[in-house]
Amino acid sequence: MVTVYAEDNPILPVPTYCPDVDPEDRTIHLAHEYDCTKFYKCIGGNKVELLCPFMDKAKTRRLHFNKVLQVCDLPARANCNSPAVQTTPRSKDEWTPEWTCGNRPVGTYLPHKTRCHLFYQCTSYGQVLQRCAEGLVFNPYAQVCDKSGKCVVTDVCKDYRNTEGSYLPDPLSCKNVYYCKEETTEKYSCDENAEWSTQSDKCLPADQANCSRKL
């Protein structure tokens, strides 16, 4: 149970998804799937992964995300029980974050690092890239493609399926842009005094780019 004090402002019910339209009165944050020191910031329906700050001067330990208060907090207060910090054995239907087959049994399926609709099948001769049907994403917990939305990928282009590349502006910076391809994501930055223009699909002088994204 999360510790809540009188001066706290708990957010209930606890957010579990990013709305398509951001609320005007607050920013929505989501707990990370398996790392207590990480969380997501919701921007225009998209999840942007962020990291909690260090809690000691030696920079050896980080704060944990408190999903009720929507802030990074002391671990004792946050009471995060994500798989990454659990000390008890996990049940067999829980997915341990791994991206390569290694010594995993033949027939195991693993998520792709950057795309929700891609996954790998572990075979006796290596891992084979597979694709989910249109409208489905790979669910590593159930080991199937479904509509559950249980994609563990955090890449900014995770939902991109086209074979042709396309630019995606950085939701947090006017300086950066991502080039999404079917399997890869490339990040580019505009030169000093330039910003990315979504209208022109190129870097322009800051006073011409007309960028209004949050920084």
- Supply the CATH number for residue 15's domain: 2.170.140
- Report the pLDDT value the prediction gives residue 148, as an integer from 0 to 100: 84
What is the domain count for the chain? 3
- Report the pLDDT value the prediction gives residue 143, as an integer from 0 to 100: 83
- Report the pLDDT value the prediction gives residue 65, as an integer from 0 to 100: 93
Q: Is residue 89 part of a domain?
A: no
| CA atoms of 43 and 172, how far apart (whole Å) | 9
- Report the pLDDT value the prediction gives residue 72, as an integer from 0 to 100: 93
| CA atoms of 147 and 136, how far apart (whole Å) | 5
| pLDDT higher than threshold 50 for residue 63 | yes
- Supply the CATH number for residue 131's domain: 2.170.140.10
Residues 142 and 165 in one domain: no
Q: Is residue 123 part of a domain?
A: yes
Convert the pLDDT of each residue in 97-107 to its tens digit. 566 777 777 78
Range 141-152 average pLDDT: 86
Burial state string for 88-103 with b = 16 or more CB within 10 A and e = fewer than 16: eeeeeeebeeeeebee
Q: Is residue 17 part of a domain?
A: yes
- Report the pLDDT value the prediction gives residue 160, as an integer from 0 to 100: 92
| pLDDT higher than threshold 50 for residue 29 | yes
| pLDDT higher than threshold 90 for residue 212 | no
Residues 34 and 3 in one domain: yes
| CA atoms of 103 and 149, how far apart (whole Å) | 28
Residues 8 and 21 in one domain: yes
Residues 17 and 61 in one domain: yes
Residues 177 and 135 in one domain: no
Residue 93 neighbours by CB under 8 Å, 6+ apart = 141, 142
- Token representation of residue 136: 């489905």
Residues 1 and 72 in one domain: yes
pTM score of the predicted model: 0.51
Q: Which of 105, 131, 151 is the last residue of a domain?
A: 151
Q: Is residue 186 part of a domain?
A: yes
| pLDDT higher than threshold 80 for residue 67 | yes
Stretch among 79-93, 114-128, 141-155 having the lowest mean pLDDT: 79-93
| pLDDT higher than threshold 50 for residue 48 | yes
C-alpha dihedral, 43 to 193 to 207 to 210, nearest 10°: -20
| pLDDT higher than threshold 80 for residue 8 | no
| pLDDT higher than threshold 90 for residue 214 | no
Structural domain that includes position 136 = 97-151
